[in-house]
Amino acid sequence: MARDPFVVHVARLRRAPGTSAHEVRRGPVALAGPLDERGIDPGRSVVPLGAEAECDVTLRAFEGGIAAVGTVRAPWVGICRRCAVGVSGELRIAVHERFGDAPIAEDELYPITDDTIDLGPLVRDAIVLDLPMAPLCREDCRGLCPQCGTDRNEARCDCVAPPDPRWANLDVLR
């Protein structure tokens, strides 16, 4: 089995609380669901298939655990919520988490197992929370015409907005 790039041995660190080590780890994050022909998940933003995330952290040993402080970076792709073109960007997420011997549910610690920590779940959790839910291709994207589908960033159409029902009676009087 290939070595997991996010697994870090911390036995030496743990023997000396107060010491720290800098780790930069890069690896793929399996987060993408079913993708369309552009490699985009039309329902949500994702880290592109095969792309790598980077975890740049300082690990500091304390009594009973390891603190990880640093930055997670990953590219993302999605679609504009108004006009549906592909959009992309890079996440830069500040992380400050702890690893310890206690189960994660009790103390919000990530586990230390056999003197190793796995930065993978930390990286994935940070990315999932930070992926843009409804990105825009640009702040002033004009979107698609609801009637003919023309991309209003690129062309005009002659569609007339449907009459406002509040004025219907006035039209009859005229």
Residues in contact with Zn ion by the rule CB under 5 A: 80, 82-83, 137, 141, 145, 147-148, 150, 157, 159
User: By the 8 A CB rule, do 99 and 112 touch?
Assistant: yes
User: 80 or 127, CB closer to Zn ion?
Assistant: 80
User: Measured from the CB of residue 154, what is the shortest distance to Zn ion in angstroms?
Assistant: 10
User: 9 or 142, CB closer to Zn ion?
Assistant: 142
User: Measured from the CB of residue 103, what is the shortest distance to Zn ion in angstroms?
Assistant: 44
The structure tokens 């800098």 sit at 22
User: 23 or 151, CB closer to Zn ion?
Assistant: 151
User: 30 or 134, CB closer to Zn ion?
Assistant: 134
User: Measured from the CB of residue 148, what is the shortest distance to Zn ion in angstroms?
Assistant: 3
Q: Cα(150)–Cα(139) distance, rounded to whole angstroms?
A: 19
Question: Exposure string (b/e) for 147-163, b if CB count within 10 Å is 16 or more?
Answer: eeeebbbeeeeeeeeee
User: Measured from the CB of residue 23, what is the shortest distance to Zn ion in angstroms?
Assistant: 38
User: 11 or 157, CB closer to Zn ion?
Assistant: 157
CA distances from 28 to 4, 6, 71, 173 (A): 10, 10, 16, 67
CA distances from 112 to 54, 55, 115, 155, 170 (A): 21, 18, 6, 57, 73
User: Measured from the CB of residue 82, what is the shortest distance to Zn ion in angstroms?
Assistant: 5
